């Protein structure tokens, strides 16, 4: 079987990778290990824009069927996509048995985590500061200052944390997080481009940089999955880290209004002091789970 998509135009984690994963249980029922040709305008390698094998590969050798015609990716999703309903362990098994990112990304991950001691004493934070943070259909906007105040509250009850890994598309948030650095807390991040004007970079770069942008996002997600805790906005990138590590203790600060897996099933952080709880009530209004 060969599965081919049209040109996909949205995010890597919120569209391409999670949609792939939704088809896996059905393909397993059929006993199919297909070849994937998934075209992404923002992440695929031009001129064909396929994300395979430049940023992701299968863990298996696809079956070769002489004369087999292509099956529409979009058509399959309309009829047989699987709803994981918060089952991160099952999603992890589906992922691990079928897909793997490219070796160079894992090598960067190993080097970074080793040099910076990312692990049981690391808190990962993900602040999505551009388009997703302003989409009233999906969530409620949270400013960098509000998110940092929630972060302070979160850390007050977790004295084991001695480093914070920062994943963000927002240049000014990353700069503000440097104020957290102290003798007790170190701030970690990967060197990569970040937006200074509120525009999402993944939609405003030259296609020649697609592979670079994809691998930077993947590296952030993988690093979040190696942390002890994660605190995030409503974003598929940080939620996907819990698919990669279903035992990750992850929380979101803001509402997720649609019932989207995986982000909707990341539990809301509720706060420890009164001021933070009031702020979180505002930020989590209209969440799919209710008040």
Question: By the 8 A CB rule, do 256 and 265 touch?
Answer: no
Tens of pLDDT, residue by residue over 118-171, are 999 999 999 987 776 778 899 999 999 999 999 999 999 999 999 999 999 999
Question: By the 8 A CB rule, do 221 and 104 touch?
Answer: no
Closest residue by Cα to residue 123 from 86, 177, 176 = 177
Residue 74 burial by CB count (10 A; 0-12/13-18/19+): exposed, middle or buried? exposed
Report, in angstroms and rounded to the nearest whole number, the Rg of the chain calculated over CA atoms. 19
* pTM attached to this predicted model: 0.94
CA 13 to CA 249: how far, in whole Å? 19
The helix, strand and coil proportions of the chain, stated in percent and rounded to the nearest 5, come to 40, 15, 40
Q: What is the pLDDT along the chain (291 residues), one digit of tens a residue?
A: 999 999 999 999 999 999 999 999 999 999 999 999 999 999 999 999 999 999 999 999 997 665 567 999 999 999 999 999 999 999 999 999 999 999 999 999 999 999 999 999 999 999 987 776 778 899 999 999 999 999 999 999 999 999 999 999 999 999 999 988 888 899 999 998 887 776 766 666 788 999 999 999 999 999 999 999 999 999 999 999 999 999 999 999 999 999 999 999 999 999 999 999 999 999 999 999 998
Tens of pLDDT, residue by residue over 264-288, are 999 999 999 999 999 999 999 999 9
Domains, in order of start, for the chain? 2-101 (no CATH), 104-283 (3.40.50.11350)
CA 265 to CA 46: how far, in whole Å? 34
Mean pLDDT of the chain: 93
């Amino acid at each position: 079987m060969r599965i081919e998509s049209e040109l996909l135009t949205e995010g890597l984690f919120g569209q391409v990778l999670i949609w792939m994963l939704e088809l896996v249980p059905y393909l397993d029922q059929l006993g199919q290990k297909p070849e994937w040709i998934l075209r992404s305008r923002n992440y695929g390698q031009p001129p064909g824009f396929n994300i395979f094998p430049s940023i992701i590969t299968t863990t298996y050798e696809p079956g070769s069927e002489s004369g087999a015609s292509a099956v529409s990716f979009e058509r399959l999703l309309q009829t047989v996509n699987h709803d994981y309903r918060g089952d991160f362990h099952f999603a992890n098994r589906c992922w691990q048995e079928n897909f793997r990112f490219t070796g160079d990304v894992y090598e960067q991950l190993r080097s970074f985590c080793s040099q910076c001691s990312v692990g049981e004493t690391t808190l990962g934070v993900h602040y999505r500061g551009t388009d997703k943070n302003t989409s009233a259909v999906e969530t409620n906007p949270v400013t960098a200052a509000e998110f940092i105040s929630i972060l302070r509250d979160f850390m007050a009850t977790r004295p084991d944390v001695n480093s914070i890994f920062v994943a963000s598309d927002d240049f000014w948030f990353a700069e503000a997080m440097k104020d957290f650095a102290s003798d007790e807390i170190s701030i970690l991040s990967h060197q990569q481009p970040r937006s200074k004007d509120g525009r999402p970079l993944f939609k405003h770069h030259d296609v020649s940089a697609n592979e670079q942008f994809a691998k930077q996002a993947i590296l952030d997600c993988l690093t979040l999955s190696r942390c002890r805790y994660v605190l995030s906005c409503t974003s598929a990138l940080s939620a996907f880290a819990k698919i990669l590590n279903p035992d990750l203790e992850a929380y979101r600060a803001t509402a997720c209004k649609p019932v989207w897996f995986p982000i909707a099933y990341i539990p809301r952080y509720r706060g420890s002091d009164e001021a933070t709880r009031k702020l979180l009530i505002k930020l989590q209004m209209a969440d799919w789970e209710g008040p």
